[in-house]
Amino acid sequence: MTTSPGESSAGLRLLAVHAHPDDEASKGAAMMARYVAEGARVMVASCTGGERGGIQNPALEGNPHAVRDMAGLRRREMAAAVAALKIEHTWLGFVDSGLPEGDPLPPLPSGCFALQPVERAAAPLVRLIRRFQPQVLVSYDEKGGYPHPDHIMAHRIAAHAYATAGDPDQYPDLGEPWQPSKLYYDLAFNPQRFRALHFALEEAGLQSPYAERIAAWQEADAEGHQPPASRHPTTTQIDCGDYFEFREEALRAHASQVDPNGFFFAVSSEMQRKVWPWEDYALIDSKVETSLPENDLFAGLR
């Protein structure tokens, strides 16, 4: 089944599971804005508060709020992003694990999200699924999209919750069972997208922010394949180019984490609409009949 922008999505519900505040802005924001505009309810669950994040925007280096209360600052930023995307939002309440650096890597901090038992960490997400009753659940792949311990853990609890939320014998005290109909992994780092934008920029005589990444892929692939094959190929592309400005507004809301002169803004929305007007997903499981490729996360549910 195909859909076109503007078709009603009333009565449909999507839940996206993200590791930190700002992940919802860099992964799937335009998709969510489109579905909200078409009448769907869209909920983001932030697993952690991003408390251990550092300042990623040079303009905010030494910001007293960030120095004094990074957790509070990131809550305010998240509220602004939620307003920009017009989505619903909840915190799952776990503590940011931080991104370990060094050789050897230091141990993760005690009590952090990534060290929780999966069954325990999935409980608030199961409760949310049973309350919100989404037909569609979106999360990261097994590598977390990129290998941050909180992203990997977000994948693990999303997969566990998808498998157990509909089972009356699992988590019997967390509400009436509800089984989401479809599970997707977000492919925000889709190599095909980066490659298409890279060559479009070069053809236009513009500097590509992806040149280093493309070169690394070529060097890493001994057989000369470009780009490298993904474990989960793209099955579903959501045409949401008309909503890229919503994504940019949400990204700017996370001022401590996103440099307005940096990577996320290196290619204009206009060029992205011409070259790659989609956000990309891999369908992992479906309880309803659908056919691939899709252009709608709710295909088979309308």
Give the CA-trace dihedral at 192, 194, 199, 205, to 10 degrees: 170
Cβ within 8 Å of residue 155, ≥6 positions away: 139, 140, 141, 142, 143, 144, 185
Considering only residues 4 and 143, tell me which one the structure prediction assigns the higher pLDDT: 143
**The pTM is what?**
0.94
> What mean pLDDT value characterizes the chain?
93
Decide if pLDDT at 40 tops 90.
Answer: yes
The DSSP symbol for 294 reads: B
pLDDT surpassing 90 at residue 136: yes
Per-residue confidence (pLDDT) for residue 226, from 0 to 100 = 56
| Domain at 13-189+233-286, CATH homologous superfamily | LmbE-like (3.40.50.10320)
CB-based contacts of 42, cutoff 8 Å, min separation 6 = 13, 14, 15, 16, 32, 35, 36, 85, 87, 88
Domain with CATH 3.40.50.10320 in the chain: 13-189+233-286
Q: What is the pLDDT of residue 1?
A: 45
Amino acid at position 154, single letter: A
For 199-223, the pLDDT digits (tens) are 999 999 988 888 888 887 777 655 5
How many percent of the chain have pLDDT more than 90?
Answer: 77
Distances (CA, A) of 150 to 125, 131, 282: 15, 24, 20
Among the listed ranges 116-120, 190-194, 227-231, which one has the minimum average pLDDT value? Answer: 227-231
For residues 40-51, give the mean pLDDT.
97
Work out the pLDDT band at 224, boundaries 50, 70, 90.
low
pLDDT beyond 90 at 279 = yes
Residue of 209, 215, 221, 212 whose CA lies nearest to 268: 209
The CA distances from residue 291 to 196, 236, 295, in Å, are: 25, 10, 10
What one-character-per-residue DSSP string does 25-58 give?
HHSSHHHHHHHHHTT-EEEEEEEE--TTPPP--G
Task: List all residues 6 or more positions away from 191 whose beta carbon is below 8 Å from its beta carbon.
Answer: 217, 227, 228, 230
Neighbours of 247 (CB within 10 A): 27
34 touches 240 (CB < 8 A):
yes
For 129, the token pair is 């699924």
Give yes or no for a contact between 78 and 89, defined as CB atoms under 8 angstroms apart.
Answer: yes
CB neighbour burial string for 274-292, b if at least 16 within 10 angstroms, e if fewer? ebbbbbbbbbbebeeebee
Determine how many CB atoms are found less than 10 A away from the CB of residue 124.
Answer: 19
